Structure 1
Amino acid sequence: MLSVRTMTVQRQEGICRTIAFVALLAGFFAAFHPVAGRAATTERVVVNRFSGLAIEGFDPVAYFVEGAPVRGLPEYEAMQGGAVWRFHNEGNRASFAEHPEIYGPQFGGYDPTEVARGVTQAGNPMFFVVADQRLYLFSREANRDAFAADPARFLAQALARWPELERGLSQ
């Protein structure tokens, strides 16, 4: 009976080690291979994969009018570029409908500093710059600050890389 119990304890310890090893591998994989979670990064316009909202439901026109991110409202929605856009009021929705190329975030909402490196990383609506009458969103505060210090350098690199990156994104 003792040998059976010892065998069971050994198996249990082996199973625990296996589970710990698998958990460690999963953590390592997740750290170096981010899973699409917050926003889809295979779309031409960054959208929340669960809600379908562009720029997490923030009003893109408000960045120009208010100088700050403002949540859009469900009663002021518009469909454009395969995404649902929300606006704070009817006037902002009308402005966007007339000129989405101006009010929509450049590079589809992808971080231009990352685009300049050849990577599509979704921008965060809280980290933004309006430069030369265009909206840019950034994945991190440090990227926003670097861009703001030298937008011409980043834009030249991003514009050169964007066509190839955009071809790799879904329609």
Structure 2
Amino acid sequence: MTVQRQERNGSRSGTVFRPGIAFIGLLASLECVSLGGQACLPSKAWAATTERVVVNRFTGLAIEGFDPVAYFVDASPVLGLPRFEASEDGAVWRFRNEGNRASFVAHPDIYGPRFGGYDPIDLARGVTVAGNPRFWAISGQRLYLFGREESRDAFVSDPSRFLTDANMRWPALQETLAR
């Protein structure tokens, strides 16, 4: 910015306070707070993709705080409650009730999402992409999470087609993820 423009805008340092832009920023941040912050970040930023279990890097919650047992019991994603938590695989898991928590603690390998919550379609391609707990399927008594609705639909049409490659690639990909 030239000296003349700096003086005209009331700033010689080049930093100008713009009340209109500040107000818009304030409104956006208030909206983020009122929605719990989830609307403020793209879903890809919510989950860490360097962990063996997909964990929200801001909250430490596995699968965004959804109850993994509810997928089996209620056949739908249900948010867990803070008073029903358990720690497993370095992540905090939430449940909607004590019964679901006890089931998970007794059998985390059964109720936890297969591949740590990574999308099996992408694993079959050789990449780790965090699954979204809203896009899910149960196949062979295992929970699978998907990054996109299209991936889930492709998987449901022929699970064995993708699971063969995902199972083959998972051990090598798992070694690249933090413990």
Normalising by the smaller structure, the TM-score range is 0.7 to 0.9
Alignment of 1:71-86 (within 5 A): 71-86=79-94
State the distance in 1 between where 2:140 and 2:96 align. Answer: 23
Alignment partner of 2:104 out of 96, 102, 123: 96
Amino acid in the other structure paired with 1:139: G
State the distance in 1 between where 2:127 and 2:65 align. Answer: 24
Alignment of 1:11-160 (within 5 A): 37-160=45-168
State the distance in 2 between where 1:51 and 1:117 align. Answer: 29
User: Moved runs in structure 1, 4+ residues, more than 6 A?
Assistant: none
Question: TM-score scaled by structure 2?
Answer: 0.76
1:166 maps to which residue? 174
Shift of 1:37: 1.7
Shift of 1:56: 0.2
Identical columns (%) = 69
Question: TM-score scaled by structure 1?
Answer: 0.80
CA RMSD of aligned residues (A): 2.0
For structure 2, list consecutive stretches of 5 or more residues without a partner in the other structure: 7-41
3-state DSSP class of the match of 1:159? Answer: helix
3-state DSSP class of the match of 2:85? Answer: strand
3-state DSSP class of the match of 2:46? Answer: coil
State the distance in 2 between where 1:113 and 1:98 align. Answer: 29
The structure carrying a bigger helix percent of its residues is: 1
State the distance in 1 between where 2:46 and 2:98 align. Answer: 28
State the distance in 1 between where 2:141 and 2:110 align. Answer: 7
